[in-house]
Chain A
Amino acid sequence: MRKLHAALAVALLTMVAIGVSSCGGSSGKEGGTLTGSYASFPDYLDPALSYTAEGWTAMYNTYLPLLTYKHADGEEGAEVVPALAESLPEIGNGGKTYELTLRQGLKYSDGTPVKASDFASSVERMFKLNSPGSPFYTGIVGAEEFAAGKADSIAGIETDDKTGEITIDLTSPSGTFTNELAMLFVALLPPGTPAKNLTTEPPPATGPYEIVSSEPGRGWSYERNPQWAKANGDAIPEVPAGHVDKIEISLVRNSATQVNEIERDKTNWMQTIVPADLYNKVKDKYEGTQFRVERPINLYYFFMNTTQPPFDDVKVRQAVNYAVDTAALERIYSGALTAAHQILPEGMPGHEAFNLYPHDMAKAKALFKEANPSDREITVWTDNESPNDEAGAYFDDVLDKLGFDSTLKTLSADVYFTTIGNATTPDVDAGWTNWYQDYPHPNDFFQPLLAGESILPTNNTNVAETDVPELNEKITKLGEEQLGPEQEKEYAALDREYMELAPWVPYGTNTVSTFVDSEIELDEVIFNPTMGQDLTSFQFK
Chain B
Amino acid sequence: MEGRSPWYLAYRRLRRNRVALAFGGLFVAIVVFCLAAPLWANEVAETTPNATHTTERVEVDGEAREVVNREGKPLGPLWFGAGGKFFLGADGRLGRDEMVRLMYGGRISLFVGIVSTLIATLLATVLGLIAGYYRGWADTVISRVMDVIWAFPVTLLAIALGLSLALGGLDLGPLQLSGNSLWVPILIIAFVYTPYMARPIRGEVLSLREKEFVEAAVSQGAGPLRVMFGELLPNMVSTLIVFFTLGVGQNMLLESTLSFLGVGVQPPNTSWGSMIGDGFELISTAPLLTVIPGTMILLTVLAINVFGDGLRDALDPKSKVRLEAHAGIAEPEGTAV
Contact = CB atoms under 8 A, between A and B. Distances in A.
A276 B268 contact: no
Given A331-B55, A331-B69, A410 B267 contact: yes
Nearest to A393: B268
Nearest to A412: B167
Contact of A393 (B94, B166, B179): B94
Contacts of A384: 262
Interface stretch (B26-34, B195-203, B222-230, B281-289): B281-289
Given A386-B281, A393-B94, A328 B72 contact: no
Contacts of A396: 50, 268
Interface in A255-291: 256, 275-281
Contact of A335 (B72, B94, B180): B72
A447 interface: no
A389 B72 contact: no
A411 B266 CA distance: 9
A415 B73 CA distance: 30
Contacts of B239: none
Nearest to A331: B68
A393 B50 contact: yes
A275 B281 contact: yes
Nearest to B269: A408
Main secondary structure of the interface of B (DSSP, over half): loop
Interface in B279-302: 281-285
B312 to A, nearest CB: 40
B21 to A, nearest CB: 41
Contacts of A407: 180
Interface string A505-541: 0000000000000000000000000000000000000
A384 B179 CA distance: 14
Contact of B72 (A333, A394, A411): A333
Given A393-B50, A397-B52, A331 B72 contact: yes
Interface residues of B, number: 29
B35 to A, nearest CB: 24
Contacts of A276: 72, 93, 281-282
Contacts of A330: 70
B92 interface: yes
A328 B163 CA distance: 30
Contact of B54 (A277, A278, A394, A419): A394
A410 B178 CA distance: 12
Nearest to B266: A410
A25 B255 CA distance: 58
A330 B285 CA distance: 18
B180 A394 contact: no
A389 B71 contact: no
A332 interface: yes
Contacts of A275: 281
B267 A389 contact: yes
A50 B5 CA distance: 74
A394 B70 CA distance: 16
A39 to B, nearest CB: 14
A325 B94 CA distance: 12
A409 interface: yes
A517 to B, nearest CB: 20
B51 interface: yes
Nearest to A409: B180
Contacts of B267: 389, 393, 408, 410
Interface string A384-399: 1011011001101110
B94 A394 contact: yes
A256 B262 CA distance: 20
A327 interface: yes
A334 interface: yes
Contacts of B283: 277
Interface in A331-353: 331-335
Q: In the complex, which of the residues A275, A409, A415 has the most CB atoms of chain B within 10 Å of its own CB atom?
A: A409
Contacts of A325: 54-55
Contacts of B167: 411-412, 415, 419
Given A334-B93, A409-B179, A412-B167, A393 B52 contact: yes
B73 A280 contact: yes
A276 B73 CA distance: 10
Interface of B: 50-52, 54-55, 68-73, 92-95, 163, 166-167, 179-180, 262, 266-268, 281-285
Interface of A: 256, 275-281, 325, 327-328, 330-335, 384, 386-387, 389-390, 393-394, 396-398, 400, 407-412, 415, 419
6 contacts: A277-B283, A277-B284, A277-B285, A331-B93, A334-B72, A387-B93
